[in-house]
C-alpha cells in the first residue's frame, strides 16, 4: 500500500525567509502524481502545487517550488519569502490510478508551519 511520510510535525520560519518541508512516499508504481495541500485554520484544503512523476522538471508556483527526487521517493516543498499568510498545516499527498476509475489520493500526517514576524 502506498504511504506518505512527513517527518516534521512542526516547522517555523521567519517572515521573508525560506523554509523546506519534507515528504517521502513509498510506492512500487512508476507513474503517479504528487501534491502539496495547505490547510489554514479555516480548515479549507487548498492546493499549493502538483507534480507528475514522469516529469523530472521540478514544479514551481510563484514562491512555492518542489524538489522531486524520484529515485529517493522524495517530494519536498520549498516556500520562499515566507509570509504570515503561509502559516498553516501542509499536507503532502500521493495519487495513483488503477483500473476503471480507481484512484487513491493518500495524505501524509502534515507539517504545521508557523511564520514568525
Partner 1 sequence: DSGVTQTPKHLITATGQRVTLRCSPRSGDLSVYWYQQSLDQGLQFLIQYYNGEERAKGNILERFSAQQFPDLHSELNLSSLELGDSALYFCASSVGLVSGLAEAFFGQGTRLTVV
Rule CB under 8 A: which residues touch partner 1?
6, 33, 35, 43-45, 47, 50, 52, 91, 95, 97-98, 100-110
What's the Cα-to-Cα distance from 11 to each of 20, 88, 112, rounded to whole Å? Answer: 9, 10, 6
Tell me the closest approach of the beta carbon of residue 17 to partner 1, in angstroms.
25
| Count of Cβ atoms closer than 10 Å to residue 69 Cβ | 13
Per the structure block, which three cell numbers stand in for 45? 484544503
User: Quick one: 33 or 64, whose CB is closer to partner 1?
Assistant: 33
User: Quick one: 100 or 117, whose CB is closer to partner 1?
Assistant: 100
Which residue, 56, 54, 34, is CA-closest to 106? 34
User: Quick one: 99 or 117, whose CB is closer to partner 1?
Assistant: 99
User: Quick one: 63 or 104, whose CB is closer to partner 1?
Assistant: 104
Per the structure block, which three cell numbers stand in for 110? 502534515
Tell me the closest approach of the beta carbon of residue 15 to partner 1, in angstroms.
25
Tell me the closest approach of the beta carbon of residue 14 to partner 1, in angstroms.
24
- What are the two backbone dihedrals, phi and then psi, of residue 99, each rounded to the nearest 5 degrees? -75, 145
Amino acid at each position: 500500500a502506498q504511504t506518505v511520510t512527513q517527518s516534521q510535525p512542526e516547522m517555523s520560519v521567519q517572515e521573508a525567509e525560506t523554509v523546506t518541508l519534507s515528504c517521502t512516499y513509498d510506492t512500487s508504481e512508476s507513474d503517479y502524481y504528487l501534491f502539496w495541500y495547505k490547510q489554514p485554520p479555516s480548515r479549507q484544503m487548498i492546493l499549493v502545487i502538483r507534480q507528475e512523476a514522469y516529469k523530472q522538471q521540478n514544479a514551481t508556483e510563484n514562491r512555492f517550488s518542489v524538489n522531486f527526487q524520484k529515485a529517493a521517493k522524495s517530494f519536498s516543498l520549498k516556500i520562499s519569502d515566507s509570509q504570515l499568510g503561509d502559516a498553516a498545516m501542509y499536507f503532502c499527498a500521493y495519487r495513483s490510478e488503477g483500473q476503471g476509475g480507481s484512484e487513491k489520493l493518500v495524505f501524509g500526517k502534515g507539517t504545521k508551519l508557523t511564520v514568525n514576524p
